Structure 1
Amino acid sequence: MSAPRWDHDETWRVDSHEVLATGRVCDFVNDTITTPTGEQVARQYITHPGAVGIIALDDQDRVAVVRQYRQPVEMILVEPPAGLLDVAGENYLHAAQRELAEEAQLAASDWRILVDIFTSPGGSQESLRIFLARGLRPAPRPDGFVLEGEEATMSHDWEPLDDLVDAVFAGNCQSPTLVTGVTALVTARDRGMIDRLRPADAPWPVRERPGGLSGMPPESNGAAEQG
């Protein structure tokens, strides 16, 4: 039997699992595993609840972006609205709708999935779903939402999609959510795939499998109200 052509599940034997440090959102852990050849190796990585990002495209071909300070790289990055899957029971689309309202004060009537990625699979469990949102309109921030920390100085505005693509290839925009999202959007549009993108409520198998990456599995990931 030939090997699977695409990404597929496989679990090697975990001989020990140790939490080395616990943070506000993530833990730093060490797994000792046995490879199929019988070699025992130690691998350290960061746990993560997962995240969603939104490429919000308006009728003028502009993308809603935020400019947010990121301490690990000591830079203000141009990013699409995005956030953690850290609300118990919240499905992925609802999380994206909430983040779009919180960070860009927008709602959308048309939601589709652009791509699912692992942001750094050699060292982090983070799984990221990037949505395409269209049919945009102004929306208030959710009740009770308070801008704090880096978000207190975050700004949001619009950038032409073509300018963002140029900035990505010039090395001027480095957020993985932005880089992946805008290049995926341009590729999908150039190939006539927008209408064939996955629906916004499509399954996310890596987060839904037994023992998978979802530390806080949604109670339901069915269709949600579209904005």
Structure 2
Amino acid sequence: MKVSADVAAFCDRLGYRFSDPAPLLQALTHPSFGSPGRGDNQRLEFLGDRVLGLVMAEALFKADPTAKEGLLAPRYNALVRKETCAEVAREIDIGAVLKLGRSEMMSGGRRKDALLADAMEAVIAAVYIDAGFDAARDLILRLWGRRVAEVEADARDAKTALQEIAQAKGEPPPAYVEVARTGPDHQPQFTIEVQLASGPKATATAGSKRQAEQAAARDLLTRLERG
């Protein structure tokens, strides 16, 4: 089965060539596209979510043999959450090759975290079906890259910690404001400013609002800790 030039280019970005591209084409098909009888990526997303979870659980288990479950769980959640999957999806530009219905396209579907994350998990499932678990594991670890090694910092819930500081001071919760959005629609960058009522503030930029908020909160926490 031949694939279009844009799908072939996506395979280059993915770093994987399919023996049978049929699962990939299904993985790139959103339920809003076409008739009810046409396959979409929902079932594949279900499978890919489980494959991703097992790969990350195994990677974290091996990376820190002494870590207790209480430490492993937030690290795991940081690696498999929708925002992280969407970030990876943007890096390989899944949005450019997604098949979307007209209404979903018009509403900016190619930029939505949930939609991109589901497609990323579906693509993982497509690789798993095409070549098995080892190939899927290799793909995931390569695409997630530094995130696995740096997950400890990402797993720290900076927003919660900052809110606790505000409460201890008798202040309202920290205020988060989007001050800029740059980049193309399929790969936006959000700049978020966080400020405490008492004055201290910080800004950060990331590929999703949640990540930018967390990064800004971490930066402000660091400043407060330094005095």
Which has the larger share of strand? Answer: 1
Rg larger in 1 or in 2? 2
Query: Normalized against structure 2, the TM-score is what?
Result: 0.24
Query: Normalized against structure 1, the TM-score is what?
Result: 0.24
